[in-house]
Amino acid sequence: MSTRTLDRPVKQSTPRQRKRRIFWTGAAFASPWIIGFLAFTVYPFFGSLYYSFTSYDLFSAPKWIGLANYRAILSDPSFYKALSNTFYMAFIAMPIGLVASLLVALLLNLKVRGITFYRTLYYVPAVIPIVASAILWTWLLNPDYGLVNIVLRSVGLNDPAWLLDPNYTKPSLIMMGLWGSGAGALIFLAALQGIPQQYYEAASIDGAAWYRRIWHITLPGLSPILLFQFLMGLIGAMQIFTESFILGGGANSGTMGGPDQSLFFYAIYLYQNAFIYLKMGYASALAWILFVIVVLLTLVVLKTSARWVYYGGD
């Protein structure tokens, strides 16, 4: 197209025309992404909003039922059960994981011999897909012959049934999460190295102990990244699915949600409604409620973050 324009007898184009042409050329180049975004993100996004007001079983045409889905959800005990399990992961498991990654990052920031080896070592679990690591952990946590219990027994400690005991399933997930904390640690590590060294030097000269240096320099310096990690962790935890799906034995197992429904998470309930009960409308409404909850939580975190996030600068 552009060559043709060049071959044409010279016709002065105004800067405005040129600007427009540049815009459309750029748009044409970006079009594969734009089309994909419209078709696979925007359309489903609003499509699910529409379906959330319908009764839709995937096969027959959706039937408009107004707010009935939302009303039903609010009086659905399974919704609350799923929500409380999910909140546990978001507000207990996720912060524990965050603190662990931070500690790992601090360790990996030490200047000791072979530190690159340790860094690699801690990052390796992050490369392993959740599915594989979940299966791996079911072996490790096997009550009888799992490595964890063998160790616990050998030092005379109580050996819980982990993934089979409703009281221990969520702590098991936390442990699995800790194992993968290298991924978060890597981001913290990058941020740690971005903190100017002279702050530490000045603090040392003033006689600040290591914990005061962490509290007064490291943490404020990390706070934007901490906020980012916290938000991403929160959003991720609200959508937790794979671990429970695998540990519960999959869609056709009849044991979805784990022992005594202790791993019955929001996304599991959503999946169940959509693909097992064929209640797409109900599932869409669930998805939108989750979306609103996540947006609200994010806003709250962002609003309060002004108090503890330090963006540097003078």
Partner 1 sequence: MSKNIRFTRTTTFAMLAGASLLLASCSGGGNSGNGASEGGSASSPGASSPSASASAPESAAASPASASQASASPANASPQEKVTLSFWYGWTGPEGEAIEKLIKQFNDSHPNITVKGLSQSDYQKQLTAITGGNPPDIASQFGQNVAAWGTKGAMIPLDDYIAKDNVDLNDFIPGALVSSQYDGHTYALPIAMHFTMLFYNKKMLADAGYSAPPATMTELKEYAEKLSVVQKDGRLEVLGLWPGIDSYTFSQVYGGKFWDPDTKQVTPDDPGFKQAVQFSKDLWDKYGSENLDRFSASLGKYQSAQNPFFSGKYAMTIDGEWLPTFIKQFAPSLDYGIAPIPYSEDHPELKNAGNINTSVLYIPKGAKHPDASWEFIKWFTDKQQLVQFTAALGNLPTRASTLDDPSYDAVPGFKEFTDYAKSPNLKSFPSLPFFSEYSDALTKAVNDILRGKTTIDDGLAGVKKTIQPLVK
The answer to the question of residue 274 lying near partner 1 (CB under 8 A) is yes
Other C-beta atoms within 10 Å of 25: how many? 12
Among 254, 306, 311, 314, binds partner 1 (CB under 8 A): 254
Region of 20-28, 98-106, 118-126, 239-247 interacting with partner 1 (CB under 8 A): 239-247
Contact (Cβ atoms closer than 8 angstroms) between residue 94 and residue 137:
no
CB of 230 to partner 1, least distance (A): 21
* Nearer of residues 45 and 210 to partner 1, judged by Cβ: 45
Q: SS3 for 64?
A: strand
Residues in the chain: 314
- Interface pick for partner 1 out of 277, 292, 308, 310 (rule CB under 8 A): 277
Contact letters (x/-) for partner 1, 278-297, by CB under 8 A? x-x--xx--x----------
Q: Which own/partner contact pairs does 191-194 have at CB distance under 8 Å and 24+ positions apart? A: 191/221, 191/222, 191/224, 191/225, 192/105, 192/106, 192/109, 192/218, 192/221, 192/222, 193/109, 194/221
Q: At what angle do helices 182-193 and 115-127 cross, to 10 degrees?
A: 140
The stretch among 90-98, 268-276, 295-303, 305-313 that binds partner 1 (CB under 8 A) is 268-276
Name the one range near partner 1 by CB under 8 A: 8-16, 29-37, 222-230, 247-255.
247-255
Under the criterion CB under 8 A, does residue 250 sit at the interface with partner 1? yes
From 8, 253, 303, 306, residue interacting with partner 1 (rule: CB under 8 A)? 253
The CA distance from 148 to 159, in Å, is 8
Among the residue ranges 29-37, 182-190, 257-265, 296-304, the one whose residues contact partner 1 (CB under 8 A): 257-265
Exposure pattern of 117-127 as b/e (b: 16+ CB <10 Å)? ebbeebbebee
Q: Is 239 in the site for partner 1 (CB under 8 A)?
A: yes
Residue among 23, 24, 37, 43 that touches partner 1 (CB under 8 A): 43
